[in-house]
Chains A and B, each alone.
Chain A
Amino acid sequence: MDYFVNVTLTGLTQGMIYSAFALALVLIWRSTRIVNFAQGSMAAATTFIALALIQAGQSYWVALIVALLSGFLLGAIVERVIIRPVEGGPELNAVIVTLGLFVAIQAAIAIIFGSSFQSFPTPFGVRGFEVGDTTIPLTPTSLYIIGSVLLTMALLVALFRFTRIGLAMRASAFSQEVARLLGVKVGSMLTLGWGLAAVVGSLAGLLIAGGTFVWPAYMDALIVFGFVAAIIGGLDSPVGAIVGGLILGLALSYVSGYAPRGSALVNISALVILIVVLLVRPGGLFSSTTARRA
């Protein structure tokens, strides 16, 4: 029983990180119809900025804030300078550009920060809480991960639901031409959207790095899981991204925890889950194709 709870909590915690990364992809897909393959490299870059600050003696929290802010700037600059020229063009152009960016940023990280493995700290312990004289399989770090992702999602929901700028961003994402005719500065909204998405992606990168090692390509596994989670959810639905991330996190944790030689099966399981979901519901679990009809 203890083992099952432990595996489930691990799955939920990992799933939260997948959800965050998938959400970053979905935010960009919804507004610009571009799959941002560079999301992982961009997140890795901000993690290395955080690491440099921590190594220079700053606290984890200062480093976290600076990393998220630099994530926003990086996302906004990438949209304005690199993505803007290919927006609205053939889809393949944008794909090639973000793939190129993925490689270029990873190379830049290696040049600036080196390509060796470095340990990244976590602000909280990884030992379970003690209740009486037993240790429960819930660690402060997993609480921090779950809490920070939930807080970020709540802030995003509040932004999109209750603020004028959030409404302008949604209008721009759903119907650029109509939004422009109504006086919404669509270009600025897209820049803002990429910036916010990069913040969420950076958060995922910082969380997955906590208590382990980072190197320029450390995000590669998370990119794959994030994509799978986003596609399970339908790529178009923020709720779908979150649910997709949690489903994937739990499923992979059970595979890794229960199947014989389970940890070796994790990657292939992600693909099996993806294929099964797409066979049953080709648009993903939360696809809004019917709503998009008119």
Chain B
Amino acid sequence: MPETHGSTAVSATGGTAAGGTATTTRLLEVENLTSTYGPVRALDGVSLSAEAGRITAVLGANGAGKTTLLRTVSGLVRPVSGRVVLDGEDITKAPVEAMVGKGMAHVPEGRGVISELTVEENLRVGALFRGKVGNEEYDRVYDLFPRIAERKNNAAHTLSGGERQMLVIGRALLAKPRVLLLDEPSLGLAPRIVAQIFGLLRKLVDSENLSVLLVEQNARSALSVADVGVVLNLGRVVVTDSARTLMADEDLRHAYLGF
């Protein structure tokens, strides 16, 4: 087990997972992570953890470092200092290509659909690293998202924003991840679609014991589905608490979350 964690991590009590399994494990640990973009410290000593069966929302304004956090965790950005630990294994220096094999899937900002490929080909790319994958796994994704099943032979650039989001989440699921990093899934989607996608996410987390690190600007929607919230400001963690507590904290909401 990794060393004892800093004081910022508070075990979550909110959300729907609270009444269920008591054995929550810190699947993903981010320890004192610092990343720079040129002279700018995009992340400044960020520590947080994500547990199995929990949705951890990372909130904050534009430029707070949310996207950089995910990109550093998945290895797209190399940190200046700090560690990323996945299930006890230090993966700070692991190559990006290896992350998905270790059980971490990252759905980048802007959805990450490969628009020149068909819907089905996009899904197949997601399962490539696992070797042969049975049809029933694709069918499962199509069952989760009937709308993309209808369009599986269409080029992905013909999909709507909501369908793209469904496609990339489905594609990430084909990698059988234990930790799912989602960057702004609600961006540009109608509230109804956001609710639908977040509801589905909640179900997946509860049924598969998945751990989700959800980066969102849309704090209200994110907190409504998350168990734990981490608020970032200018690359630092301002507060970590249960989603319910953060929801109730009016001053915090006004100061950092914009609602």
Contact across chains for A293 and B157 when beta carbons are under 8 A apart: yes
Query: Looking at A177, A183, A186, which has the most chain B CB atoms within 10 Å of its CB?
Result: A183
Contact across chains for A174 and B116 when beta carbons are under 8 A apart: yes
> A212 interface residue, CB < 8 Å from B?
no
> B112 interface residue, CB < 8 Å from A?
yes
Contact across chains for B97 and A183 when beta carbons are under 8 A apart: yes
> A221 interface residue, CB < 8 Å from B?
no
Contact across chains for B125 and A182 when beta carbons are under 8 A apart: yes
Contacts of B125 in A (CB 8 A): 167-168, 171, 179, 182, 184
> A112 interface residue, CB < 8 Å from B?
no
Contacts of A181 in B (CB 8 A): 74, 76, 96, 99-100, 105-106, 108, 112
> B171 interface residue, CB < 8 Å from A?
yes
Contact across chains for B117 and A171 when beta carbons are under 8 A apart: yes
With known contacts A167-B124, A168-B128, A180–B97 Cβ distance under 8 A: yes
Interface of A is mostly: helix
> B155 interface residue, CB < 8 Å from A?
yes
> A164 interface residue, CB < 8 Å from B?
yes
Contact across chains for A178 and B112 when beta carbons are under 8 A apart: yes
Contact across chains for B129 and A183 when beta carbons are under 8 A apart: yes
> A288 interface residue, CB < 8 Å from B?
yes
Q: Give the complex CA separation of A171 and B113 in angstroms.
A: 10
Contacts of B121 in A (CB 8 A): 167, 170
CB interface residues, B 153-172, toward A, < 8 Å: 155, 157, 171
- Chain B proximity mask over A181-204: 1 for CB below 8 Å, otherwise 0: 111111000000000000000000
Contact across chains for A182 and B126 when beta carbons are under 8 A apart: yes
Contact across chains for A291 and B116 when beta carbons are under 8 A apart: yes
> B175 interface residue, CB < 8 Å from A?
yes
Contact across chains for B115 and A291 when beta carbons are under 8 A apart: yes
Q: Give the complex CA separation of A170 and B155 in angstroms.
A: 14
Q: Which of B76, B124, B155, B171 contacts A177 (CB 8 A)?
A: B76
With known contacts A167-B124, A177-B76, A184–B97 Cβ distance under 8 A: yes
Contact across chains for A182 and B129 when beta carbons are under 8 A apart: yes
Contact across chains for A170 and B116 when beta carbons are under 8 A apart: yes
List B residues at the A interface (Cβ < 8 Å): 74, 76, 96-101, 105-106, 108, 112-117, 121, 124-126, 128-129, 155, 157, 171, 175
List A residues at the B interface (Cβ < 8 Å): 164, 167-168, 170-171, 174-175, 177-186, 288, 291-294
12 residue pairs A–B, Cβ–Cβ below 8 Å: A168-B128, A171-B114, A175-B112, A179-B125, A180-B97, A181-B74, A181-B100, A182-B125, A182-B171, A291-B116, A291-B157, A292-B116
Give 8 nearest A-B pairs by CB, closest first.
Answer: A183-B129, A183-B100, A178-B112, A180-B96, A171-B125, A174-B116, A175-B114, A181-B106
